[in-house]
Amino acid sequence: MMYKKLYFLLLSLLLVFSCTAQQTDVDRAFRHAEKQTGIMLNAVEKEKKEGDGKGISPRNLEPSGKLRLVHSGDWTSGFFPGVLWYLYEYNRDSVWLKNAETFTAGIEKEKWNAGTHDMGFKVYCSFGNGYRLTKNRDYRDVIVQSAKTLIKRFNPAVGAIRSWDHNKDKWKFPVIIDNMMNLELLFAATEITGDSVFYEVAVSHANTTLKNHFRKDNSSYHVIGYDPVTGAVEKRNTHQGYSDGSAWARGQAWGLYGYSMCYRETGNKEYLQQADKIAACILNHPNMPADLVPYWDFDAPEIPNEERDVSAAAVIASALYELSTFSKAGKKYRSAADKIIKSLSTVYTAPEGGAQGFILLHSVGSKPSGSEVDVPLVYADYYYLEALLRKKHLEGK
């Protein structure tokens, strides 16, 4: 009997130790993120003084190591405010709150910018997180106006929101898989106002994308070109990937995240099924590395001598944590997300004090364009912190 009691005591201590160790991994990652972001804030202020005065938010490092700031209209402008909101969510330190409010305010004018589909990236990652954490009524109003602006780009004949206004020589009405990420803003607007028009546009866009973007193996094209009059598909391309038929890694990540989120917002089982299919495509791909940090394109020709894309890995991890709460394969997804986070937090992090304050290294923006290849990218940091918070929440449960 005494040995039995001792056994259960040791087992309990092991369980407690295991939970504490897991929690410590998240805490350690956030401590690193806090230190790096403090450095980033100083680097941003220095660059603002030395630059042309137009840049407000960090995006990447240039080949020279110089910090690149972008204006509010850049699709990445909302991610650094989002990083600050996530740090505030983690420790409720007023320093992060103040900085989050400051950087978020710099993007407000984008609520009127109908020349881009990137309203969700810009506004929901900044004002959306701010509203979620503070319930600031001004933030709520920005979200609603941004949604009103975004749906001006919706074409009923196509059933989707137009993505780019550039490259008109290539596509009459392009829709990119990235655009799935902007639908969360529309769902939020319906929740805030009770007006179903935003919800209906989001669902229509998700349905059109589900119908036309995916191949038989459940990988996705990057761009679908539509006829804006008839709604017919004219082209299927992969603009930022290796080839039109290849699986561009971040594109697969956007799809996984988008349909997991759409299931959360609608309860439509077709979206859950699609998220499961995309997850299987990603996790079972023969070219997925053992550490689950994908190459920039799953079909890039020089694998294993191709660049990894940490930004894709961070998005995948965050999506898998959410999908794990819905899917029958939840344990598998959570385990995979944990493995990605372990890889990112131990192998792909910037050295403390380095990289001008970026948290993660080794992301790829667009290799075919020779743009942002093997550099730190702000959206990798954003989705990494989001994934860490989701991990922390799941472990808390």
Tokens of 360: 């993660």
> Please, which residues bridge with residue 360 across strands?
349
Cα–Cα distance for residue pair 29/359, rounded to 1 Å: 9
**Which residue in the list 27, 165, 169, 178 is annotated as catalytic?**
178
Neighbours of 66 (CB within 10 A): 14
Instruction: Return d(Cα 167, Cα 117) in angstroms, integer.
Output: 14
> Are 186 and 195 spatial neighbours (Cβ–Cβ below 8 Å)?
no
Cα gap 27→395, rounded to integer Å = 12
Closest CA relative to residue 384, chosen from 252, 302, 293, 274: 293
d(CA 47, CA 276): 43
Task: Give the annotated binding-site residues for substrate.
Answer: 118, 178, 238, 250, 254, 366, 369
What is the gyration radius of the CA atoms in the chain, in angstroms? 21
| 374 catalytic residue (yes or no) | no
Name residues whose C-beta falls within 8 Å of residue 101's C-beta, 6 or more positions apart in sequence.
130
Tokens of 390: 């989701």
- Report DSSP letters for 186-225, one per residue: HHHHHHHH--THHHHHHHHHHHHHHHHSB-TTS-B-SEEE
CB 47 within 8 A of CB 70: no
User: Of these residues, 74, 118, 276, 297, which one is catalytic?
Assistant: 118
Across-strand partners of 61? Answer: 67
Q: Can you say which residues are annotated as belonging to the binding site?
A: 118, 178, 238, 250, 254, 366, 369
Degrees, nearest 5: CA angle 245-251-254: 150
CA-nearest of 103, 43, 38, 39 to 71 is 103
Q: Which residues of 37-53 are buried (b: 16+ CB within 10 A; e: fewer)?
A: bebbbebbeebeeeeee
Number of other CB atoms surrounding residue 306 within 10 Å: 19
Beta partners for residue 58, in sequence order = 69
338 annotated active-site: no
Cα–Cα distance, 332 to 326 (Å, whole number): 12
Active site positions, annotated: 118, 178
